[in-house]
Amino acid sequence: MPAPDMPAPDTPAPGQELVLEDLDAVADLERYATRARTMADTGMRLQVVGPVLAAWVSVLQPRGLGDRVPVALGLRTFRLDRAGADGWDEVYPLSSVLERLARMTSTSRTALTLPPVTEAAPWTAVTPPRSGWSSVAAVADDELQQVAQDGIRELGAALPQDPGASMVAQARAAVWGRLLGGTSVEAGDGFLPAGAAFAAHGLGFLTPGGTTTVHTSGPWVRLSSPAGFVLCRQPMAL
């Protein structure tokens, strides 16, 4: 779920470590970061709230005014084995996070040393609500998987070999901004952007035969599965 109110952070000293619960958590975080980097190499936001680490990534973002692609954020939470850095909230390059996770795996260590360099990520300015969510549906993971795969194929067929930025933006918005869950796609009365299914598929949150729950809060939609969360919002009207 979206992280709760963040207390004033304890400023980490250089090389401060976040100690994950076990090596399985290290492997999970590494897989998640690897998938995220493949989809959009725009950094990983690490938030610490008490004993919990929230790891956010951006999968889809509008690339400028008039871009109608939805916002799609991925979220995984991990229990920490040691207190410290409560309230910490920074964005780090995915390459730096992955380098450290690979080293942790090879040495069987569970302590993640925070990278020395942070980065500014405009997508972190878009914050999902922490409360006010209403359950609206439960969707089969196989159905979400099909939506994502159909969208990927549709984009591949729609774009020429060297498309311009404007053509790419229009195609992405048409495919991933399509609303599902209504009476019909043509009616446009759905509530779930196809981009949410794309994010859940790409980040590895869907399992064969599994079920994902759908919650809404204002313009936001949240997909919740045992593997992680996707927070999605249609672009603001101009």
Structure tokens at 152: 């990927």
Average pLDDT estimate for 184-212: 88
pLDDT of 51 reads: 92
* Residue tagged 């949410």 (tokens): 196
The stretch 100-111 carries a mean pLDDT of 97
Domain positions in the chain: 17-125, 134-233
CA atoms of 59 and 195, how far apart (whole Å): 9
Question: How does the average pLDDT of the chain come out, rounded?
Answer: 89
What pLDDT is attached to residue 7? 44
Nearest of 108, 105, 51 to residue 81 by alpha carbon: 51
- pLDDT tens per residue across span 77-105: 999 997 767 889 999 999 999 999 999 99
- What is the rounded CA–CA span in Å between residue 81 and residue 51? 7
Q: What is the pTM of this model?
A: 0.89
Q: With respect to CATH, is domain 17-125 assigned 3.10.150? A: yes
Residue 186 pLDDT: 54
pLDDT digits (tens, 9 = 90+) for 159-182: 888 888 888 889 999 999 999 986
